[in-house]
A and B are shown apart, each in its own frame.
Chain A
Amino acid sequence: AQSVTQLDSHVSVSEGTPVLLRCNYSSSYSPSLFWYVQHPNKGLQLLLKYTSAATLVKGINGFEAEFKKSETSFHLTKPSAHMSDAAEYFCVVSAHASGGSYIPTFGRGTSLIVHP
């Protein structure tokens, strides 16, 4: 079994300030974790993914996330927000075991609002 919880439905920041989007997961097996971004009228785009390699994962557009097994978290961060970062962000978990992998489970999304 697996699940993912995005702790904030909306996050509001000023341009140039840090971004933190929180994600907690549960999984009975080794998880792969993803962050996707969805801009209006655009398809979801992969920001970064963790698949049991380095726990600090760097993605596109200056985003990064750290896998913390003890806290079952995979929070997304960026040092300095840009207006173009305003979008919907989804955390995704997909566990894998020796028999195969589990279908991805998406969080409900966090809407990032960036103020000038």
Chain B
Amino acid sequence: GAGVSQSPRYKVAKRGQDVALRCDPISGHVSLFWYQQALGQGPEFLTYFQNEAQLDKSGLPSDRFFAERPEGSVSTLKIQRTQQEDSAVYLCASSLSGTRFPYQETQYFGPGTRLLVL
């Protein structure tokens, strides 16, 4: 079946612009995760949704970052007033269930959105 998809795949923004990154999880997956992967680094956790509820946003680096999943399926990560340090690959992942231990579940990753802020 279809995997996790993300759009756009590439985004170039001028510093100060707002951007919106979209994630379509695998159909029926309850949990959804966003990660930020800087060049040469491993992914870093940003936020976690169980259905439409954002249960953990401890990894969001500033109040310029905002994520939503209003109907419990598609999610959007929005970055306001982009800065050069926001340049990274943004990964979305989903997992089937929303258990008490969501981070122990197998996550299925999308290909990522590569954001470049000039």
Contacts and interface: CB of A to CB of B under 8 A. Distances in A.
Given A41-B111, A42-B111, A44-B43, A101 B3 contact: no
27 contacts: A32-B104, A43-B4, A43-B110, A43-B111, A44-B43, A44-B91, A44-B93, A44-B107, A45-B109, A46-B106, A46-B107, A46-B108, A90-B43, A94-B104, A96-B101, A96-B103, A96-B104, A101-B102, A103-B58, A103-B59, A103-B103, A104-B45, A105-B45, A107-B42, A109-B40, A109-B41, A109-B42
B109 A43 contact: yes
Interface string B41-71: 1111100100000001011000000000000
Contacts of B112: 43
Interface of A: 32, 36, 41-46, 49, 51, 90, 92, 94, 96, 100-109
Q: Per DSSP, are chain B's interface residues mostly helix, strand or loop, or mixed?
A: loop
Given A42-B111, A43-B4, A102 B42 contact: no
A36 B59 CA distance: 20
B41 A108 contact: yes
